[in-house]
Amino acid sequence: MNDINNKLIDMAIEVSKNAYAPYSKFNVGAVLLMKDGSIITGVNVENGSFGLTNCAERTALYQAYTQGYRKSDIIKLAVVADTSAGVSPCGACRQVMSELLELDCPILLSNIKKSDIKETNIQELLPYMFNL
């Protein structure tokens, strides 16, 4: 694994500790690497009304867009969780990523042990994405 990927995964592991997951106890961290060198992070934030929960991937992407970035500014996304294999984004996150990321943007999926790391993109994760 190259140094940038390793650094992004390490950052996602560290930021996952900030997740608010009192119900699932499933902390997820996400890190975006931007073209200007900025790093934007996100964690999952749960709510007792489960439909109001927000995933780490969407938190990071929404934060980037809030700061004025757009899909062409994003170099890579890394997502981690305490799973046996690389974490898999939920369907809602995949759909949001299909709209807010370039379709070939590299997405790193890992676990906190870094024992399983996959590099993919949204075209592979959501081949039949909804679009207008």
> Under a CB-based contact definition with an 8 Å cutoff, are residues 79 and 108 in contact?
yes
Pairing mode of beta strands 107-111, 74-81: parallel
Residue 118 DSSP code: E
Q: Count the alpha carbons within 13 Å of 72 in the hemisphere toward its beta carbon.
A: 0
Residue 8, φ and ψ in degrees, nearest 5: -65, -45
Instruction: Out of 14, 46, 57, 119, pick the active-site residue.
Output: 57
The SS3 of residue 16 is helix
Is 14 marked active-site? Answer: no
Q: Which residues are catalytic?
A: 57
